[in-house]
Amino acid sequence: MPHTTLTIFTLRPGQQRWGLAQMGTSPAQLQRVAGLRFYKLMGSGANNGFGFWPNLRRYGFMAVWENAAAAEAFFVQHPLWATYEQHSTELWSVHLAPLKSHGLWDGKAPFEYVSGQVAAPDAPVAVLTRASISWRKTRRFWQYVEPTSAALGQAVGVRAAIGLGELPIVRQATFSVWESAQAMQEYAYRDARHREVIVLTRREKWYAEEMFARFQVLASTGTLDGRNPLVGLLG
């Protein structure tokens, strides 16, 4: 089965121009990486990614590989990734197996999964939501989603939550990792602000394209803000 990874890297001080340049120069090299089926390089915002203004030191790299061996070869051996490591003060990578996915990302459905699969009740899960926001709806989107997403990081059972985006303002994603599927579901169904945003999204048609995906967490390596968010949860 294909193998999915998300890496959050935080650049060293003074490397902001280098980081911005990679958004334009890295794709040409990534397109030639063996076994890389789908990828997205994304920036982040202030306030752990959920703020309106960009954080020029933090970026994300999401990838779908032919298999786990292709992912390992890239992260261990590829010279492009070696330069990312040299310019970063810390990196956190989470390895994922899709459990469920619906919607499209740039017209594609990148996350293959076997229908009916579920994570173990006490196993950590990850959730990705992303959307292309209609230009006319951006003001309403940020009015409601920015404070709601920022509060996500304080939810019971969440180990990590970060906002990412391919383009400022209009192409946004949220990635969160939870101690268990139960913790994630309790937040999704019980948090009033979260439910309100879902209703408004449908009623006001904020998105031109959207995707939701849930993953089993296979491994977590490195650190985010000085710690491995899943320490103690994975064998």
Per-residue pLDDT of 186-218, as tens digits, reads 877 675 565 666 665 666 566 667 889 999 999
Q: Please give the CATH number for the structural domain made up of 3-222.
A: 3.30.70.100
Sign of CA dihedral 51, 100, 195, 133: positive
pLDDT in tens, 160-171: 988 888 765 546
* Rounded Cα distance, 148 and 196, in Å: 10
What is the four-CA torsion angle of 13, 6, 71, 185, rounded to 10 degrees?
Answer: 160
- Tracing tokens 């449908």 back to the chain, one arrives at 202
Contact 5, 66 (CB under 8 A): no
Is pTM, for the whole model, over 0.75?
A: yes
* Mean pLDDT score, 140-147: 60
In this predicted structure, what is the pLDDT of residue 17?
95
Q: Do residues 44 and 165 lie in contact, with contact meaning Cβ atoms separated by under 8 Å?
A: yes
The domain segmentation of the chain, as residue ranges, is 3-222
The average pLDDT across 74-88 equals 97
